[in-house]
Amino acid sequence: MCSVRLDTTLADLYREHGIKGPFIVTTHCVFGHMDLHPEFPRELMYPEDEEPVPYSNDKQEIARLRKVILGLKPVRRAVGLGDMDVLFFEPNVTATGMERALNQLPPEQRHRPRFIDLEGGQVFEKLLDLTKGQKLHFWRPQAWMKDHECLVDPQLAYDINSKEYLITSGIRTPPSTLMPLDEASLATLDEHPLPFVIKLCRAGCGFGTFIVTTEQRRLETRSALILLQQRGVRNFILSAYVDLVEDLSVHFVVGPDNREDPHIVGVTVQTLTATGKWTGGYIDYSAQERLHDYVRATVSDTTARLPKEFVGWAGVDIVVDKDGEQWVVDLNARFTGSMPICFMSGHFLKDRGLPLAQFGAFEYSGGVEDVYDLLGELVKSGEAIVTATAVIDPGQNMADIAWGGKNASDLERRLNLIRSRLARV
């Protein structure tokens, strides 16, 4: 397995921009419709309108989802945090289980895992005790954090990550209207000219966004909204459709003194399903200087409209229309999923001549450590990096992998190679 040296870490960037710690981090998602564990119940104080996990009565599927949420996702999101304590929950994550991925990094770039055993009870008491004396940095706000010293106040984080804030703050977003989710509004949508976009106020990863370009899609969206209304969603946003030519995600750091000129770390391109759900992203390291300059004015205008209390890592999704106008269609005032590959230009481009990099999650059978043997020379050469692994079911595992490519077709070729090797039984 090849060693990996990142360009920088989040801890280094925070020190550089005057964001003071010490920090302890939780990168866990929580959900309003699903308990993660009997000792870690669903989130009711800061719920989302729609979640990037399905509502299901299939107990086997729910058990599998919990293992992904508690096992794989927090480990891969911790890559690049650097000199910070990071919370993980046993038995889904163990020191032994994450040792191989963590030890790829030089000691000064490794985060420090701190474990709480979900089976041991009193989880929230242990969370408060373990985080005492440090500033809490979170992926999504949770009720247990409300009286804790946090980098960003949980209620503020909840408010500014709502799309209602996006459309009322003066940020340059497509013309939008907040509407109640009721029969009158549904009737309006039945007659509204195509195309248009429907967004829920609180949803991420492309969930809760409906791009309505056909009559069939109008019917599907109406049915989805009725179901969401039954689940308690009370309003939605009707937004103008942008016929885009570019779709970019920008990742940056906002410090106390650079609010109107934030430090842009990376510009990535999102990878989405046919229905617009986020699955990952790729980055062109050779184009970063040009892209930074290209989006700088839009990013600076956006961060100037954030509350002065907000500092830290954040991201915006920008679409560019046929006239070259840039529109902010999402604000993620939190960690972003593409953060790790923003730190890997030296590894892929400088050291291996691979200007493109992509990441994604993959399933494979066998032992959880088999991924290293299955990928073989790809991992040994550093052309692919296994950033996290987790056991999902007996004999069934998942790995989060970043890989490089010389160009778009080469990136696709390596993706297919990874898939084919991991498909071996």
* pTM for this model (two decimals): 0.93
CATH class of 175-240: alpha beta
CATH class of 243-333: alpha beta
For residues 122 and 331, give the distance between their C-alpha atoms in angstroms, rounded to a whole number: 35
Residues of the chain with CATH 3.30.70.60: 347-422
pLDDT at 276: 55
3-state secondary structure (DSSP) of residue 14: helix
> For residue 221, what is the enclosing H or E element?
helix 215-230
State which residues of the chain have pLDDT below 50: none
pLDDT at 29: 84
pLDDT at 207: 74
- H-type helices in 288-395, by residue range? 288-303, 339-342, 345, 351-352, 370-375, 377-380
For residues 51 and 195, give the distance between their C-alpha atoms in angstroms, rounded to a whole number: 25
For residues 82 and 105, give the distance between their C-alpha atoms in angstroms, rounded to a whole number: 9
pLDDT at 231: 86
pLDDT at 54: 56
Residues β-bridged to residue 399: 362, 389
pLDDT at 312: 98
pLDDT at 33: 79
pLDDT at 85: 97
What single-letter amino acid sits at 48? E
For residues 153, 154, 158, 160, the Cα torsion angle rounded to the nearest 10 degrees is: 10
- Please give the structure tokens belonging to residue 363: 């399933």
pLDDT at 326: 98
pLDDT at 275: 57
pLDDT at 420: 96
Q: For residue 393, what are the CA distances in angstroms to 89, 173, 320, 398?
A: 17, 42, 42, 10
pLDDT at 51: 56
For residues 118 and 141, give the distance between their C-alpha atoms in angstroms, rounded to a whole number: 19
For residues 170 and 175, give the distance between their C-alpha atoms in angstroms, rounded to a whole number: 11
Residues of the chain with CATH 3.30.470.20: 243-333
CATH topology of domain 347-422: Alpha-Beta Plaits (3.30.70)
| Coarse DSSP helix, strand, coil percentages of the chain, rounded to the nearest 5 percent | 35, 30, 40
